[in-house]
Amino acid sequence: MTWLKPSWQAVLVVLLCLIAFALGAMSKPEAAALAQPEASFDYPYLVTKGLMFGLLVIAALVSMTKLPTIVEALVLFVGAHLAAWLLITGINGFEGTALAPYFLLLAAAWLLGWRCVAVLSSLRPVANWARTALRLIIPAIFGAWILILWEAITRGAGIPFILLPPPSAIGVRIANSLPILGADVQQTIFKAVIFGYVVGSGAGFLAAIAADRVLFLRRGLLPIGNMVSALPIIGVAPIMVMWFGFGWESKAAVVIIMTFFPMLVNTVAGLTASSHMERDLMRTYASGYWQTLFKLRLPAAAPFIFNALKINSTLALIGAIVAEFFGTPVVGMGFRISTEVGRMNIDMVWAEIAVAALAGSVFYGVVALFERAVTFWHPSVRGG
Amino acid sequence: MTGTSPAVVSASKLGLTFQTNDGPVQALTDVDLTIGKGEFISFIGPSGCGKTTLLRVIADLEKPTSGMISVNGMSPEEAREKRAYGYVFQAAALFPWRTIERNVALPLEIIGLSKAEQAERIKRTLELVNLSGFEKKYPWQLSGGMQQRASIARALAFDADLLLMDEPFGALDEIVRDHLNKQLLELWDSTNKTICFVTHSIPEAVYLSTRIVVMSPRPGRVTDVIESTLPRKRPLHIRETPEFLAIAARVRDGLRAGHSYED
C-alpha cells in the first residue's frame, strides 16, 4: 500500500458521489422524465451527468496515489473547478429545480477544492517567484470558492433575486453600468473621501504636534479627543448636510470629523513611543525641540501614525457613503445604494458594494505598502 | 595628578535627593571629587550606590539638590549646551531607521557640520572602533558588541574631550568585553580624552582606570578613591600580575568598608 496516500476529503468525495448516484435524479425535470420514460422532457445534465461523476471520482482517486505534490494539486484543481463549472452552467434555465444530488456534487467539488488548497499550503518552495505565486494562488482559489458556492446555491435552490442575487448577475450589472458606477466613484471617493481623508488626517496630525508642544492643549484637548473618538460620529452627518449643503463638501466634512480624532489620539501616543534613553541621548547633544521631533520622535511614531492612516482609510469610506444617505445630488455611491434598494434593484446595490469593497481594499493596500516602505525598520515589518 | 592639570569635573558637597512615593531617596550625599584632564576614572559600587546618578549629574541629565558641581569650569547645563561631552549609555540606543553611518552622523547633523566634515568624521571614528565596512548596515543587522561599538563611535564623532560611559559593556559577554576594554584603553591612550566610566566589575575597573572611585548605597556616597599604580600601557595579561590583584583587593576592601557586601 506504499503507493496510497489517503485524505479524508478525497474519501468523502467518493462517498458523496456514490450517495448522489444512488439518489438518482439531479433536478425536478429529470425526476419527471424518469417517472414518464415515454414523454420527452428537456432536463439539465443530459450529457454531462456522467462526466461530472467521473471527473470527481477520478480526481479524488488519483489524488490519493503517491504523486508529486504539484501534480496532485493540479489534478485536484482541474477536477474541482471543471466539475463546478459543469454544475453551474448546466443548471442554466432550470434555476430552483435542483435536488439533493446537485448539492452533494457541489459539496464534493468543494471538498476537492479544499484538498487542493490544503496541498498547496503545505508546499514550501525555495524560489522567490514560486512563493509569491503561491501567496496569490491560495487566497484566489479560496475567494473563487466563495463565489462558486454563492452562485451554485442561489441558482440551484432558486433563492429570490431580491434576497441575494447570484454573483454572475452582479457581474453583469457592473459591466453594464460602468458609466454610472464611474460617476459615483468620482463623486464619493475622488471628491469626498480623498479630500476629507487628507484634510482630516493632516489636521489630526498637526493638532497632535500642537498638543505636544503646548501644555494646556495636551491637558485639555486630549481627554476630549479620547472621548469624541468613541462617539458614533456618523450621527452628525445630517447636521453636516444642513451646514454644507447637498454637495460633496458635506460628506467631506463628515469624513474630516471621523478621521481627525483617530489620527490625533494615535499620533500623540506615538510621540511618546521613543525611549527615555533615546531622549536623553538627544539631550546630551543639546538638541532643540524641533530637531528632536524630526530626528527621533516622529520616526519613532511612524508605526502609530500609519496605524491611524489605515484605520482612517476604512472610516473615510464608511463616512462618505453613509453621509450620502442623508441628502445628496443624484450621484454618489451612498445615494445609489439608498435609491436602488427602494427600487428593488438589489443587483445594483451589490454592484456598488463590490466597487466600494474594491476601492476600500486598494486604498488600504496603498497605505499598507507605503507603511512597509517607511517603517521597514520596525520589528513587525522586518520580521524579528 | 589632579593638582597638575586643570579640573574637568569638580564637585563639592554634591547631593541629590529624589522625591518618590515612598518618601525621599538620597541618591547622592556629600560627594567631593575632582577629575583632571586625561584621567580615566571608574565609578564602582553595587546597584543603588548612585554611580549612574553621579554620571547623569555631570551630564546635566539630573539636577543636584545640594552642593556645587562644575564641568570644564561651567555649570553642567552650560557644558551640555556647549557639547562638552559624549555620552555612551548602557544600551547602544541606535536609531533602527538609520544605518550605522547615519547613526554616527546624528550628533553631527544636530551641531550642523557640513556634509564633507560629517563624512570625514564618520570614516575616522568607524575606523577607530573597527567597524569599517558596516556603514550601510542597519543596527538590527549587527551583533550586540558591534552595536555598542557603533554607539561609542557616535560618542567619539562628537569629538568632545570628555567621554561619559555608563556601564557600556554591561550587557556583553566576557570575551567581547575583554576585547572592547582593550580597544577602549588604546583609544584613550591615543586621544588623551578624559573618561568617566561606570561599572560594577572590579577587574574591568582596575584594568581600565587611573583612579577608581568606590561608592556604596543607602545613602549613595563615595567611600574610597584608589590611585592605580599600573603603567599607562596595559596588555590584557596584566590582570594576572600581583600588582593588579593588590589593587583589586583594595577595591574589594573599599566596597566591604561601605557595607556593600551586606544585605
What ipTM score was computed for the predicted complex, to two decimals?
A: 0.88
Give me B242's grid cell.
600581583
Rounded CA-CA distance A120/A133 in Å is 11
CATH of domain A174-382: 1.10.3720.10
**Which DSSP string do the residues of A313-342 spell out, in sequence order?**
HHHHHHHHHHHGGG---S-SHHHHHHHHHH
User: Amino acid identity, residue A75?
Assistant: V
Q: Quick one: angle between helices A346-374 and A178-185, nearest 10?
A: 50
Q: Measured between CA atoms, how close is A224 to chain B, in angstroms?
A: 29
Angle at B230 between CA B225 and CA B231, to 5 degrees: 130
Contact between A375 and A381 (Cβ < 8 Å) = yes
Q: Measured between CA atoms, how close is B242 to chain A, in angstroms?
A: 40
**Using CB atoms, which residue from A277, A286, A299 is nearest to B81?**
A286
| CB within 8 Å: A377 and B96 | yes
For cell 460633496, the residue is: A248
Q: Quick check: helix, strand or coil at residue B9? A: strand
For residue A204, what pLDDT is reported? 94
- In angstroms, the Cα distances linking A165 to A100, A147, A155, A345, B86 are 21, 12, 9, 10, 71
**Using CB atoms, which residue from B87, B90, B91 is nearest to A284?**
B87
Q: Chain B window 144-173: which residues touch A at a Cβ cutoff of 8 Å?
A: 158
pLDDT in tens, A319-340: 999 999 888 888 889 999 999 9
Using a 10 angstrom Cβ sphere, with 0-12 exposed, 13-18 middle and 19 or more buried, the burial of residue B26 is middle
| CB within 8 Å: A378 and B140 | no
When pLDDT is cut at 50, 70 and 90, the band that residue B2 belongs to is very low
Domain residue spans in chain A? Answer: 8-159, 174-382
Residue B224 DSSP label: E
Rounded CA-CA distance B151/B87 in Å is 9
Cα Rg of chain A (Å, integer)? 28
Sign of the CA dihedral with A239 first, then A244, A250, and A256 last: negative
Rounded CA-CA distance B226/B243 in Å is 13
| CB within 8 Å: B85 and A295 | no
Contact between A248 and A193 (Cβ < 8 Å) = no
SS3 of chain B: helix, strand, coil, percent, to 5: 40, 25, 35
Give me A298's grid cell.
516622529
Residue A3 vs residue B67, higher pLDDT: B67
**Using CB atoms, which residue from A286, A375, A379 is nearest to B83?**
A286
A70-79, A252-261, B174-183, range with the lowest pLDDT: B174-183
Query: In chain A, what residues touch B97 (CB-CB under 8 Å)?
Result: 299, 302, 375-377
User: Amino acid identity, residue A173?
Assistant: R
Residue A363 vs residue A46, higher pLDDT: A363
- In angstroms, the Cα distances linking B71 to A174, A280, B61, B108 are 76, 18, 13, 22
pLDDT at B169 over 60: yes
For residue A360, what pLDDT is reported? 93
pLDDT in tens, A148-157: 999 999 999 9
Average pLDDT, chain A: 89
> How far is residue A184 CA from its own chain's centroid?
20
- In angstroms, the Cα distances linking A218 to A55, A159, A265, A308 are 68, 56, 11, 19
Rounded CA-CA distance A2/A265 in Å is 62
Q: Quick check: helix, strand or coil at residue A91? A: coil
Contact between A327 and A335 (Cβ < 8 Å) = no
When pLDDT is cut at 50, 70 and 90, the band that residue A3 belongs to is confident
Cβ contacts of A318 within 8 Å, gap of 6 or more: A234, A258
The H helix count followed by the E strand count for chain B is: 8, 9
Nearest residue of chain A to residue B99 (CA atoms): A377
Average pLDDT, chain B: 86
Domains annotated on chain B, with CATH: 1-84+162-263 (3.40.50.300), 95-159 (no CATH)
For cell 434593484, the residue is: A345
Q: Quick check: helix, strand or coil at residue A41? A: coil
pLDDT in tens, A61-100: 998 888 888 899 999 999 999 999 999 988 888 888 888 9
Q: Measured between CA atoms, how close is B235 to chain A, in angstroms?
A: 32
Give me B215's grid cell.
561608592
| CB within 8 Å: A280 and B95 | no
SS3 of chain A: helix, strand, coil, percent, to 5: 80, 0, 20
Give me A348's grid cell.
445594483
- In angstroms, the Cα distances linking B95 to A280, A281, B104 are 13, 11, 10
Q: B10 - beta bridge partners?
A: B34, B70
Contact between B219 and B236 (Cβ < 8 Å) = no
Question: How many residues are there in chain A?
Answer: 384
User: Amino acid identity, residue A117?
Assistant: V
When pLDDT is cut at 50, 70 and 90, the band that residue A14 belongs to is very high
For cell 489620539, the residue is: A265
* A92 Cβ under 8 Å from any chain B Cβ: no
What are residue A126's phi and psi, to 5 degrees? Answer: -90, -40
